[in-house]
Amino acid sequence: MEAVALFSFSASEADELSFQKGDIVKVTEMEEDSYWVIAEIQGRRGFVPVNYISLLPHPWFAGAVSRLEAEQHLRWQVTGVFLVRQSESAPGEFSFSVSYGDRVEHFRVLEGGGQYCIWDKAFCSLNRLVDFYRTHSIAMEKVVCLRDAPSSPRVQAHPARNPYPSPHRHSSQELISSAHLHSRSCYPERDSSLNPQKPFLEMPRLANALCDYTPDQTTHLHFLRGDVIELLDCSSSLGWRGRCRGRVGIFPPKCVHPLYH
């Protein structure tokens, strides 16, 4: 999620991130009731104090809602109405749930090197990814561009699990006064579980190619019979997404045989 820096911040520890007032900061990890978040700026990653930044508007982010809840909220909505949620199958990652009118399709967001992608075009933030698919089809089989829902109550995330709560607290969570913002002693001890050096590891799912698949579309994955394909997203019955020979793309599920561990 993108945020704007409200104040300049000079890092006093090696794992902190310096920035200037007005900088756009990409928040990559945040815990409920934490005074620190992990963020990135131009490839640099580290801790920043949460009350130095303000998240940019993102009404499409639903947080930790389930796949079923997303489907219940979006089914029968106008085609293209969508939400972004935390992935149930891959903690720390995100999925797009998009209304097709009569059904809801789900798209896993791939993240690597600070870039986010659904197909073959990558972006530096979820905000940029959303903006792109507002004017370009997110679907392969027909044109489906993202659009905001008509004014109506939004699906609510489970607050205890939402990684992007408002950085502005009240009452017992009142913002640290501006007179103390520059004193490190004002901040509570950082949670050691928020470790910017600790990557999320997931065992890959694999499949064996049953035939040659050499489509004309550049967004589709080319492979030969016998190739082993890393399965990245099998949530859609219309097409799976995988990686083979260093390339990522979609392909028909009937062309492969899943390999179960």
Q: Are 56 and 1 in contact (CB under 8 A)?
A: yes
Is this structure's pTM higher than 0.85? Answer: no
The answer regarding whether domain 205-259 maps to CATH 3.30.1180.20 reads: no
* 2-57+170-186 and 205-259 share one fold: yes
CATH homologous superfamily of domain 61-153?
SH2 domain (3.30.505.10)
**Which stretches in the chain have pLDDT values below 70?**
30-33, 113, 151-204, 237, 260-261
Pick the CATH number of 2-57+170-186 from 3.40.980.10, 2.30.30.40, 3.20.20.70, 1.10.10.10: 2.30.30.40
pLDDT at 135: 93
Distance CA 70, CA 66 (A): 6
Q: How far is CA 178 from the centre of its chain?
A: 32
The pLDDT of residue 260 is: 65
Q: What is the pLDDT of residue 33?
A: 58
- Phi, then psi, of 53 in degrees rounded to 5: -130, 160
Provide the pLDDT for residue 79. Answer: 94
- Give the start-to-end residue ranges of the domains of the chain: 2-57+170-186, 61-153, 205-259
Confidence (pLDDT) at 164: 38
